[in-house]
A and B are shown apart, each in its own frame.
Chain A
Amino acid sequence: MSNHVTEWLNAYLDDELKGGRLHQVQSHLAECQECQAELKSLQSLSSLLRDGPVPEFISSERFVAQVSLRLPHKQPVLKKRSALEVGWWLIPVGLLILWVFINTSALVSRVAATANEFGLLRAAPAWLVVDSSQGASWSETLGEFGLLNGNSLEWAEFTETFTRNKLPLIIWQASIAMLYLSWIAILWARHTPPQQGQFLKS
């Protein structure tokens, strides 16, 4: 019999297998004497460990008294949330606020630009209005020198306008989305927070 299930026998013995793996081990055990013997040997080992005589420990009452005598008078202080932890939870809020701010700014700017085109905002401050006429200045310059003309000039103007006006907004939004997703990924990875004490890792 090949494909022994030796590595799963401990988990099977401890009743920790489920579904397909459990079925696989059960089916294999029904046919393989070698694995049956290994399982019996593991069961015997477990019985030897568990069924041995019970140590006679100090009584709980006496133990409580001893611990109580050694207990420091200092009261345990509930751990306050550190600034780092508060900052961690503020990250997504900050990102959302930034996203709303950028989109609102772009929207207001576009509305102001449209209003400006129709002459409704004569006294609007310069920073509020995106000057779309400056959107393709390099392409226009190249056109004036005759280096670009016809379709190529139109294409260059469109590309330059897009790069100047739309691309920064897209890059900002993509960056915010990436940071937000990274935050969620880290949160998921930290799902089980560490507990007190040193760790038996080796």
Chain B
Amino acid sequence: MGPIYVHIITKAINGKEYRTVVIVFEINEAEIVIKAQGGDRNAFNELVRIHAQGVLNVIFRMCGNMQLAEDAAQEAFIRAWLHLGSFRVDREASLRNWLYRIALNTATDMLRKEKRILPGQLDDFYLPDPRLSPEGVYLQSEQTALVQAAISSLPDASRAVLVLKEYGELSYREIAEALDIPIGTVMSRLNYARRLLKEKLEAQMIVLKEAEHV
């Protein structure tokens, strides 16, 4: 565990002053990785805790099925545990990128094995926006399902780049590192994936409105 920072946030509500104390633990991931490489299961569990949601999200966007995503994410972390010795802590590569790479490969393997992409019934897994009316919730879930179906229909290689960019929030350099491909290939695959996605969504009558922040 690294240094600890304490922030005191003061807010005045209805004339009364409230203070919130926020304690921030700066996690030294490299130290945890080294411990896990030495066989410390608790340290590895800590790494799983840190990266679970990110890995789940990337795999889910890759395969479009919640159950498959959970299975693949578990499998990915087990593979990571078994091969953690080959991860070089001294290199600049981040563990997140390394895990995303394993996660994507595991998802692709499982999809090929299972041969199922089941984007249906996605609404069971999404938290609806509480501000929306029942009709709005229905329309939103329909749109979400169509978007996920469009993503799932992309070729594996382009889908992986799109998912890492849009949902993994990786830079082009990080994507190139995670997938072991040149940055030029990242750009061309991303261009291709977005163009294909636009065509598919426009064909599904999803109007791409002007972004609000333009």
Contact = CB atoms under 8 A, between A and B. Distances in A.
Interface string B189-214: 01100100110010000101111111
A196 B87 contact: yes
Contacts of A68: 41, 45, 48
B29 interface: no
Interface size, B (range): 35 or more
B53 A71 contact: no
Interface residues of A, number: 50
Given A56-B125, A57-B53, A74-B82, A196 B70 contact: no
Given A78-B85, A195-B87, A48 B157 contact: no
Contacts, number: 173
B210 A40 contact: yes
Q: Secondary structure at chain B's binding surface: helix, strand, loop or mixed?
A: helix
Interface stretch (A58-66, A84-92, A148-156): A58-66
Given A44-B210, A199-B180, A50 B166 contact: yes
A165 to B, nearest CB: 49
A66 B208 CA distance: 40
Contacts of A78: 37-38, 85
A61 B53 CA distance: 11
Interface string B94-132: 000010011011001100000000000010011111000
Q: Secondary structure at chain A's binding surface: helix, strand, loop or mixed?
A: loop
A201 interface: yes
Contact of B127 (A7, A54, A58, A192): A54
Interface string B77-101: 1110111111110000100001001
A16 interface: yes
A140 to B, nearest CB: 62
Contact of B85 (A52, A63, A79, A200): A79
Interface in A108-134: none
